[in-house]
């Protein structure tokens, strides 16, 4: 059985009244037989979004745990106004931002026209 090491860091965000509005869990697992397998968990209500590591050179991938239905992923570069939108019908998603300029990109996950599940800042190398 291969040896592995796991580490976890938890960060909370609060509103003005001190209520927890967001919990972020960063997990890093290193195993003898695999490369560094790290992802970030974003918890929002009943949903957990698992997102591949940032910074990235282009492909952003992840999944929403136990989500059923259709949702939209949008990647937006605020400096150039470049945008990619993708409709997803599966728990797993990927979006290619390799044509975006270096810097940061805002990725938004919408589960309906009126409900943004999460907006995440991604570093593009």
Percent of the chain with pLDDT strictly greater than 90: 41
Q: Does domain 4-124 have CATH number 1.10.10?
A: no
The full set of domain ranges for the chain reads: 4-124
Percent of the chain with pLDDT strictly greater than 70: 79
| Distance separating alpha carbons of residues 100 and 8, to the nearest angstrom | 31
Q: What is the pLDDT of residues 40-69, one digit of tens each?
A: 888 888 888 999 878 898 899 998 988 888
Report residue 16: phi and psi, to 5°.
-65, -25
Count of Cβ atoms closer than 10 Å to residue 105 Cβ: 25
| Distance separating alpha carbons of residues 46 and 44, to the nearest angstrom | 6
Average pLDDT, the chain: 80
Q: What is the pLDDT of residues 79-100, one digit of tens each?
A: 999 999 999 998 899 999 999 9
DSSP annotation of 69 reads: S
pTM across the whole model: 0.67
pLDDT (average), residues 19-39:
56
């Amino acid at each position: 059985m291969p040896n592995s090491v796991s580490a976890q860091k938890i960060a909370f965000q609060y509103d003005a009244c001190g209520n927890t509005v967001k919990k972020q869990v960063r997990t890093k697992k290193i195993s003898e037989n695999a490369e560094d397998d790290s992802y970030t968990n974003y918890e929002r209500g009943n949903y957990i979004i698992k997102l591949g590591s940032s910074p990235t050179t282009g492909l952003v991938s992840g999944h929403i745990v136990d989500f059923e239905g259709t949702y939209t992923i949008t990647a937006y570069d605020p400096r150039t106004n470049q945008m990619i939108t993708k409709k997803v019908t599966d728990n797993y998603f990927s979006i290619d931002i390799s044509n975006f300029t270096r810097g940061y990109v805002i990725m938004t996950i919408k589960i309906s026209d009126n409900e943004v599940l999460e907006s995440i800042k991604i570093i593009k190398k």
